[in-house]
A and B are shown apart, each in its own frame.
Chain A
Amino acid sequence: MKYGTTFSFCWSGGSKLLLYHYSHIEVKLTKCLFKMSSFSRSAQQWATFARSWFLIDARMQPPGKIASMCSVRLQGKHKPIYHPMSDIGDHVVVMNTRHIAFSGNKWEQKVYSSHTGYPGSFKQLTAAQMHKKDPTAIIKLAVYGMLPKNLTRRTMMQRLHLFTDDVLPEDILENLTEELPQPREIPRKLSEYTQEECDAFPMLWTPPEDYRMK
């Protein structure tokens, strides 16, 4: 007995606008209103091995967590059909890399070292200096270090697309299929709390009338 997975969902009135944002391969996948089991063998294979495009917003996120999410999807480890020799990684687009947030004092303490091999060419840059020089370098190096150390690493890095701000080119916008949730919950600033919430917050102690706050 074959159980086919049926695909059906209703498109709202703006279907043409929605279709514009998907890759041409997954347009066909998402549009199928009939059973996937009725696909021919080649069409089923094409559907199974289709490459997705993911979007991650790195605003106020730790670059290490972003990099681990990227590396998982670049390798294809989020798919049940994963095999290291299969080259089934997906594309990952990271935007707002300029606005990443290291925890602790890493901006000053974390050091990126490089040596070209020639004498006197040992360079050490703090994370802040590196970020100023190239806002995408921190995430790029983090992902590079998290991918498997073999020849497929370079191909996976080519599938990683980093953008400093949230301006993305047209052709990449067309390909995106899913936005991944951010790994870190961004804490709100004091200015972002409403006055009602501030008042509703319990006070530890009530200061006397003539108490002068610093």
Chain B
Amino acid sequence: MTARGTPSRFLQSVLHNGVGRYVCQLKRISLIFSKKGQGSLGVRDFIEEGVVDFAKNNPGTVVYISPQSCRIPKIVAEYLNGNVKEETVTNKTSQEIVELITKLSNQSGLDIIRIRKPFHTDSPSIQGQWHPFTNRPPSIDPVGPQAK
């Protein structure tokens, strides 16, 4: 659709993350897969090889592994601002799942919609924003023909 018809937001970080310490915004990541389905092969390989390293590298993120009888394996990522992102990982290789999970952990939970401006500042003016009386002090005498 058009830019006007789709939602948009301004560039921002969650609670000025990174100004002080950086807090990983990924709260919880759940791997839902089936123990015997062929679509979950990549997920099962990932669980064998990479998930423990991922969990060690991201101490602030909780990793849940839930084998269920499901046709399509999913990765559900929950973020600190409450957003939930689900990605289906059917027939993905372990390497692709590694990349996907690093991408999810690097995201903040803000919506992936059009960003109106690629910049943002909390102090847009240092010397003070211009107003009509910045460089012309208002006249003390009354203005008008009676003044003459």
Contact = CB atoms under 8 A, between A and B. Distances in A.
A21 B143 CA distance: 7
Main SS of chain B's interface residues? loop
Interface of A: 1-5, 7, 9, 12, 17-18, 20-22, 26, 29-30, 36-37, 44, 47-48, 50, 52, 55, 57, 79-81, 95, 166-168, 173, 176-179
Contact of A3 (B128, B136, B139, B144): B128
B143 A3 contact: no
Contacts of B57: none
Interface residues of B, number: 22
Contacts of B136: 178
Nearest to B141: A18
B138 interface: yes
Chain A contact residues, majority secondary structure: loop
Contacts of B134: 5
A8 B142 CA distance: 18
B126 A176 contact: no
Interface string B104-148: 000000000000000000010111111111101111101111011
Contacts of B131: 29, 36, 44, 47-48, 50
A81 B130 contact: yes
Nearest to B130: A80
Contacts of B125: 2, 37
Contacts of A179: 139, 143-144, 147
A65 B136 CA distance: 22
A26 B133 contact: yes
Q: Which 8 A-B pairs have the closest CB atoms?
A: A166-B145, A5-B128, A176-B143, A47-B131, A21-B142, A30-B138, A173-B144, A48-B131
Nearest to A81: B130
A7 B128 CA distance: 12
A9 B137 contact: yes
Nearest to A96: B145
A2 B123 CA distance: 8
